[in-house]
Amino acid sequence: MTEENQNISGRDAGKNSRAVPSSVRAEVLEAVRQLPHLPGVYRFFDKNDKLLYVGKARDLVKRVSTYFQKTSPSPRIAMMVGRIARLQTTVTRSEVEALILESNLIKTLHPHYNIIFRDDKSYPYLKVTGQRVPRIVYYRGTVDRKNEYFGPFPNASAVRETIQILQKVFRLRTCEDSVFRNRTRPCLLYQIGRCSGPCAGLIGENAYRRDVEHAVRFLRGEQTAILGELQEKMEGYARRLEFEEAALVRNQIAALSQVLHQQSMETDNEAEDVDIIAVVVRQGCACINLAMVRGGRHLGDHAVFPGNMGSAVENEGEKRETRILKAFLAQHYIDRQIPRTLVLNLDFDEPALMMALSEQAGHRIHLVFQPQGQRRLWLEMAQKNAEIALERVLSKSGTQLSRVKALIDLMKLDIDDPDSLRIEAFDISHTQGEAVQASCVVFHHCAMQNSEYRRYNIAGITPGDDYAAMKQVLTRRYGKLVGHEDLMPHIVLVDGGKGQVSMASQVFAELGHDLGLIVGVAKGEGRKVGLETLVYADGRLPQELGKDSGVLMLIAQIRDEAHRFAITGMRAKRDKKRQASRLEEIEGVGAKRRQRLLARFGSVRGIADASVDDLATVEGISHRLAQQIYDQLH
C-alpha cells in the first residue's frame, strides 16, 4: 500500500462554526482532482482533525469526487461534506484489499459518519489444547495454530454447556496445568464421572487421546459415526469378557445418546456450520440477530445494535437494511472464522466483500437468501428474536430520549438533536486514603458509552483529600482541551455538593473553560435516593428535582455508573497491592522465589490455594519454607 496526505489548514474557521471557509474548500477540491485512478481507502477529517468518514473505492478520484458535486445525494452527506477540511488516502492493490483496510479502520477509529458495530467483548471459543494430555477450556482472544479452537460461540453459557457435555460423555480434563502436574490422586470430577483421571494414571495416554479425538469429532458434527464406533468398541470388550470396560463404554453411549436426544434443533447435514443473520430496521434503529450453528448444533443467538445510525451517511439508491448488513459482514467477519454457509434474510450483491471474506476464510462462502426446511425455521426464529430485541431497545430508548429532552430543557442547553448531548461524569474512590482512583464515564447518543470510560490513578495528594483528587483528574482530563471548546462535553457531572463544585470551578477558571458546564449532585438528607440537589458553578440556584423526576433518574443513572466504575477499579488496585505485599512480607521469599511461585501458580491467590506439598515442588522452596508460606497466606 502507498499513502498520500492532503493536509489542509482549516483551523482558522472559528471555534463555533463547523463549516470550513471557501479557501479551505478550494484546497480540498484541488486535492480531490489530484487523486489517482486506483483502488484505495479515503478518510475525511474536520478542522479539528476529527475523523469524519472512512470509505473504500475502486477508483479513488471517481468515488471521492461524487461527494463534492453541486447536488448532494442526501442532506446528511451535505452536512458531512461541509465539515471536510482535510482528506487522506491510501492506495491499495485491489478493491478487496481496500475493503479489508476500510473495515479495520472503521473498527479501530470509529468515524463519526460510519455505521459501527461495537462488541464489548470478543466472542468466546472452546479450546482443545495441543499438549501431550490435552485439556478443554473456555477461551477468549486471538487463536493460534498450537491448539484447536471451536466456535465462535454466541455467549459464554453456550461454551460452558458444551464443556459440560464433553466432560459427561468423553470425561476430558479441565484442570489447570499446575494442578495436573502436581496431582497424585484424582479430584472430585473423577469421582462423579466427569474426568477419566489422566493426572493419576487411571487411564492410558493412548486411550485418553482417543477420547479427545472423539470429542473433537463430536464438535465437528460426526455424532452418528462416533456412536457406531463406540458400539463396536463395547461389543469387542464384551466378546473378550472385559465387562468393566464394556460398562464404561456403554455409559458413554448412553450419555451421548441423551445429548443428541435433548438437542431438538437438528439438521439433515450433521456436520453443517452455518451462521443465520437477520436484519431488522424500525424507527431509525437497527438490530442484527446472529444465530450460530456448529456441527449441526444450534448454539444460540446474539443481538447486535449498530452505532452512529443517526449520523451515518447513506448511499443513494441503496436500502438501509442492505447497507447495515454489508457493514456488519465486513466488520464482524474481517478478523474471525467464517462458516461456509451464511443464511440471510435479505438479498444483496457485493462481489468484492464476498471475495475478501472468502480469501480470509480460505474457502468459498455460500450465501442463502431463500432457505428451505430447517434453515428456514432457523431464519424465522432469528428474525423474530431481532424484532423482539429491537422492540425492547426502542421502548427503553423512548423513555431515555424523553429524559434527555427534559434535561436539555431544564438546563436551557442550545442543542437541537438530543442524540448529540454529551455528559462526562466523575467520581473519586478509595479505602481510607488507600488506592485512590478517579473515574470518568461518558453518556452520549442517549446511552452510556463504555468504550470511552477512563480511570485515573491519583498520586501526590494527602490521603483522603477528595477535593485534591478531583482537581487532579479534571486538570488531566480537560487541560489538553484548552483552545478546543467545541470538543468539550455539554455537562461535566461531579459527585458532590458545593465543595466539589467549587474545586471544579477553580480548575475550569484556570483553564479558561465555561463554568456553566459544571453540575454537582449533592446527596439529600440521610443520603436518601430522590432527595438529591443539583448544584451549579455559574451562580444558578440549586435545584431539587423530586424523586419522580425523569431528569433525576437520568442524572442518578450516570452518577451511579461513575461510582460503580470508580469503586471496581479501586478495589482491583487495592487487592493487587495487598496481595503482592503479603508475598513480599514472607521471610525467606525473595524476588527470584516470588517469580518462580508466580510462574507456577499464576497469582498470589493461586499460591494461597496450593497445598504445602505443591509449594514444595517449586525450585528453591524447601518443605519447611513451603509450610511457612502456607501458614502466612492462611
The three-class DSSP label of residue 550 is: helix
Three-class SS of 284-344: CEEEEEEEEEECCEEEEEEEECCECCCCCCCCCCCCHHHHHHHHHHHHHHCCCCCCCEEEE
pLDDT at residue 570 greater than cutoff 70: no
- Band of pLDDT at residue 153, cut at 50, 70 and 90: confident
- In angstroms, the CA 215 to CA 455 distance is 43
Question: What's the pLDDT score for residue 45?
Answer: 93
Kindly tell me if the per-residue pLDDT of 16 is higher than 60: no
Looking at residue 64, what is its pLDDT?
A: 92
Q: Average pLDDT in the 571-590 region? A: 62
DSSP one-letter code for 499: H
User: What pLDDT band is residue 501 in, cutting at 50, 70 and 90?
Assistant: very high
Tell me how crowded residue 633 is: count the other CB atoms within 10 A of its CB: 17
For the chain, which domains are there? 2-109 (3.40.1440.10), 274-311+318-390 (3.30.420.340), 418-574 (3.30.420.340), 585-633 (1.10.150.20)
Which cell numbers in the block locate residue 539?
451562580
- Check residue 601 and give its pLDDT: 74
Q: Which residue has the cell 431464519?
A: 379
Q: What is the percentage of the chain residues whose pLDDT exceeds 70?
A: 85
**Cα 454 from chain centroid?**
15
pLDDT of residue 585: 62
Is the preceding peptide bond at 152 cis, omega within 30 degrees of 0?
Answer: yes
Query: What is the mean predicted confidence (pLDDT) over 153-160?
Result: 79
Answer yes or no: is pLDDT of 314 > 70.
no
Give per-residue pLDDT as tens, 513-543. Answer: 999 999 998 876 655 666 788 999 988 888 8
Closest CA to 586 of 576, 597, 575: 597
What does the mean pLDDT of the chain come to?
Answer: 81
SS3 state of residue 113: coil
What are the distances in angstroms from CA 496 to CA 91, 499, 518? 52, 7, 11
DSSP state of 486: G
Task: Report whether pLDDT(171) > 60.
Answer: yes
Residue 389: its pLDDT value, please?
A: 84
* Three-state secondary structure readout of 189-218: HHHCCCCCCHHHCCCCHHHHHHHHHHHHHH
Report, as an integer, the average pLDDT of 588-614: 75
The band of 504, judged by pLDDT with boundaries at 50, 70 and 90, is very high
pLDDT in tens, 333-389: 877 778 889 999 998 888 888 888 888 788 889 999 988 888 888 899 899 988 888
Angle subtended at Cα 16 by Cα 13 and Cα 21, rounded to the nearest 5 degrees: 25
Query: What single letter denotes the amino acid at residue 349?
Result: D
**Per-residue pLDDT tens over the stretch 394-446:** 777 777 888 898 899 888 888 877 888 999 999 888 665 566 788 899 999 88
287 pLDDT more than 80 = yes
Cβ atoms 304, 328 nearer than 8 A: yes
Q: Which residue has the higher pLDDT, 36 or 7?
A: 36
Cβ contact 298:265 at 8 Å = yes
Residue 564 has pLDDT above 90, yes or no: no
Long-range contacts of 15-21 (CB under 8 A, 24+ apart): 15/484, 15/485, 15/486, 16/485, 16/486, 18/46, 18/47, 18/82, 18/83, 18/486, 19/82, 19/83, 20/46, 20/47, 20/82, 20/83, 20/84, 20/85
- Looking at the predicted structure, is the pLDDT value of residue 492 above 50? yes
State the angle between helix axes of 223-239 and 205-219 in degrees (0 to 180), rounded to the nearest 10. Answer: 150
Q: What CA–CA distances, in Å, run from 235 to 117, 218, 231, 232, 395?
A: 53, 21, 6, 5, 60
User: Which residues are CB-neighbours of 341 under 8 A, at least 6 positions away?
Assistant: 272, 273, 274, 275, 365, 366, 368
Give the Cα separation of 320 and 323 in Å (integer): 5
Pull the grid cell for residue 105: 479502520
Q: How far is CA 155 from CA 124, 151, 624, in A?
A: 7, 10, 46
